[in-house]
């Protein structure tokens, strides 16, 4: 009889050990923490999801009702793509805390397609057809593309992660200045003050609070910033009053997809850019959550990106890709559970099905988002610097790789018109500092660290701490001294 309690207790003890053995990425959190943390991810990426459909819809000439429909469809498909990425099906999904949404890389090509389409009513069907084909091609190519991971050592990933953060910071600065760059009050003291107050609130919460409140500091900062903005007349609640309670993105609402060769080629180029950025983002996130992304993980993640993109047009959505700004949120909060991000994907689906719910997030003023964005995007850049610390920057070769790749990647940020004389198809890639910096870092790493290496390639430019690499060089120095 004495053995029975042991038998009953054994499964519980084993379960406890299993829970403790789980990687933080695979942990589930308490319901309240899960919901609020997931909502925080939605708040961080909402503006990025709705901006492309608003721009494209306006170019096509959609009415206000149709524009709201197109925006809701993008939220819905972003949620589906996030489910694919975080929860995974078969060999699809990186199963990392990865948010997917409409990629901004496709905006310029889609606008070009609209300009070259005689009947604007056919523009969206042509775009959707091109995205479906590009997504399917990318899905097939994902395993081969993922093999490039061996060309992404810390010196490359650190440079790219840093570029991701630096490239996103101008977005936060733009948000801080106001919603409309053409308005007379753009960049006014009111907008900048709201951004500054939100930034200070987030910093104070991170400094003087603990536990869960500290982890959701960005979400709390957004709420407080929005409330403070009300007396200034910056907070607009009209979207909530005008939105419908329920709405479903009916398949092919704007017409059956059309397949134009030029449009397909254009979107295939965008897909290549998107896959390059997603690979860099997965490598960055893998470092942040202490689960480095290997070739298998990257292939699965790219399959989720490309399949999500191929499915999106069926529900009137656009090409999907990883959202780098949410990587900053993971880095700052240290909440690494992929189920938290999946919960955020659930919110996106619900907002796509309920326009009134989607409008709640849109109430947050753009300057308030900008203040929080400084922390989020700056955290990404800081994570890149942390990775570079491990990259062996005492070596001349690695210093050159970082220096040149960062310089190339920063060109589109500091000189947006630098590539104005290049063809439009080339500018799709060149205008993305993340893509150009990533390509530069990979090529330079191959040239300096793989092709025709010599013994003096390991020459150091600074003293090393005990335990650092290149022990032979250190011993040679010691022998010379003695």
Task: Note the pLDDT tens digit of each residue in 124-183.
Answer: 999 999 999 999 999 999 998 888 767 778 888 788 878 877 887 887 898 899 888 888
* Mean pLDDT lowest among 297-301, 325-329, 340-344: 325-329
Burial of 350 (0-12, 13-18, 19+ CB in 10 A): middle
Per-residue pLDDT reduced to its tens digit, 69-114: 888 888 999 999 999 999 988 889 889 898 888 887 677 678 878 8
Residue for token pair 């030029």: 262
Instruction: Please tell me the predicted confidence (pLDDT) of residue 423.
Output: 80
- List, for residues 46-61, the tens digit of each pLDDT value: 766 877 887 788 778 8
CA contacts within 13 A on the Cβ side of 333: 33
Average pLDDT over residues 445-461: 67
- Judged against a pLDDT cut of 50, whether residue 290 lies above it is answered with yes
Longest dimension (CA), the chain: 86
Who contacts 365 (Cβ-Cβ below 8 Å, separation ≥6)? 179, 194, 225, 226, 229, 234, 235, 236
Token pair belonging to 109: 């090509």
Contact 424, 266 (CB under 8 A): no
Compute the radius of gyration of the chain from its Cα atoms: 24
Rounded to whole angstroms, how far apart are CA atoms 320 and 329?
19
SS3 322: strand
pLDDT of 108: 67
Beta-carbon contacts of residue 92 (< 8 Å; ≥ 6 apart): 84, 300, 303, 304, 307
The enclosing H or E element of 360 equals helix 355-362
* Those residues with Cβ within 8 angstroms of residue 260's Cβ, 6 or more apart along the chain or in another chain: 113, 126, 129, 130
- Token look-up 């947006």 returns 416
* Lowest-confidence segment of 66-70, 94-98, 364-368, 423-427 by average pLDDT: 423-427
Average the pLDDT over 264-273 and give the result: 81
Local confidence band at 340 (pLDDT 50, 70, 90 cut-offs) = very high
Count Cα neighbours of 108 within 13 Å in the Cβ-side half-sphere.
14
CA separation for the pair 20, 27 (Å, rounded) = 9
pLDDT of residue 307: 94
Res 322: pLDDT: 81
Beta bridge partners of 321: 101
DSSP code, position 314: G
CA distance 355 to 246: 6
pLDDT at 17 over 50: no
Instruction: With CA atoms as reference, report the closest residue to 458 among 472, 444, 479.
Output: 472
* C-alpha pair distances (Å), 369 with each of 48, 294, 328, 391: 11, 33, 14, 33
Q: Is 448 helix (H, G, I), strand (E, B) or coil?
A: helix
Determine the pLDDT at residue 482. Answer: 41
How is 99-128 classified by DSSP, letter by letter? Answer: -EEE-GGGHHHHHHHHHH-SSGGGHHHHHH
CA 375 remoteness from chain centre? 15
Provide the 8-state DSSP code for 92: B
């Amino acid at each position: 009889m004495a053995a029975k309690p042991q038998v009953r207790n054994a499964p519980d003890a084993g379960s406890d050990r299993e829970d403790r053995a789980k990687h933080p990425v695979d942990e589930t959190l308490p319901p309240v923490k899960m919901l609020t943390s997931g909502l925080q991810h939605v708040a961080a990426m909402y503006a990025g999801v709705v901006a492309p459909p608003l721009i494209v819809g306006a170019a096509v000439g959609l009415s206000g009702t149709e524009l709201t429909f197109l925006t809701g469809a993008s939220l819905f498909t972003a949620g589906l793509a996030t489910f694919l990425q975080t929860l995974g099906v078969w060999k699809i999904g990186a199963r990392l805390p990865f948010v997917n949404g409409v990629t901004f890389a496709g905006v310029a090509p889609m606008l070009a397609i609209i300009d070259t389409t005689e009947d604007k009513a056919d523009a969206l069907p042509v775009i959707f057809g091109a995205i479906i084909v590009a997504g399917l091609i990318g899905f097939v190519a994902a395993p081969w593309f993922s093999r490039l991971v061996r060309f992404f050592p810390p010196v490359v990933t650190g440079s790219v992660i840093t570029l991701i953060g630096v490239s996103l910071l101008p977005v936060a600065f733009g948000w801080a200045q106001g919603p409309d760059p053409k308005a007379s009050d753009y960049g006014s003291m009111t907008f900048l003050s709201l951004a500054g107050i939100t930034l200070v609130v987030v910093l104070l919460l991170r400094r003087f609070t603990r536990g869960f409140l500290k982890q959701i500091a960005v979400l709390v900062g957004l709420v407080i910033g929005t409330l403070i903005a009300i007396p200034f007349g910056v907070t607009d609640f009209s979207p909530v009053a005008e939105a419908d309670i329920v709405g479903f993105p009916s398949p092919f609402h704007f017409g059956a997809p059309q397949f134009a060769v030029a449009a397909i080629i254009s979107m295939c180029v965008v897909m290549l850019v998107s896959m390059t950025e997603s690979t860099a983002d997965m490598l960055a996130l893998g470092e942040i959550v202490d689960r480095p992304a290997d070739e298998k993980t990257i292939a699965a993640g790219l399959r989720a990106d490309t399949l999500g993109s191929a499915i999106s047009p069926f529900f009137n959505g656009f090409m999907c890709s990883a959202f780098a700004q949410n990587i900053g949120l993971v880095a700052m909060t240290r909440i690494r559970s992929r189920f938290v991000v999946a919960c955020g994907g659930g919110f996106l689906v619900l907002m796509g099905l309920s326009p009134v719910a989607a409008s709640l997030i849109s109430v947050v003023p753009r300057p308030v988002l900008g203040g929080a964005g400084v922390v989020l995007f700056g955290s990404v850049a800081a994570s890149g610097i942390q990775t570079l610390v491990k990259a062996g920057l005492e070596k001349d070769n690695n210093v050159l790789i970082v220096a040149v790749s960062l310089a190339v990647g920063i060109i589109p940020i500091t000189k947006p018109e630098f590539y104005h004389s290049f063809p439009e198809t080339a500018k799709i890639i060149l205008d993305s500092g993340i893509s150009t910096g990533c390509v530069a870092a990979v090529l330079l790493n191959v040239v300096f660290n793989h092709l025709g290496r010599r013994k003096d390639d390991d020459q150091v430019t600074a003293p090393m701490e005990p335990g650092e690499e290149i022990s032979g060089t250190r011993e040679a120095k010691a022998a010379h001294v003695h």
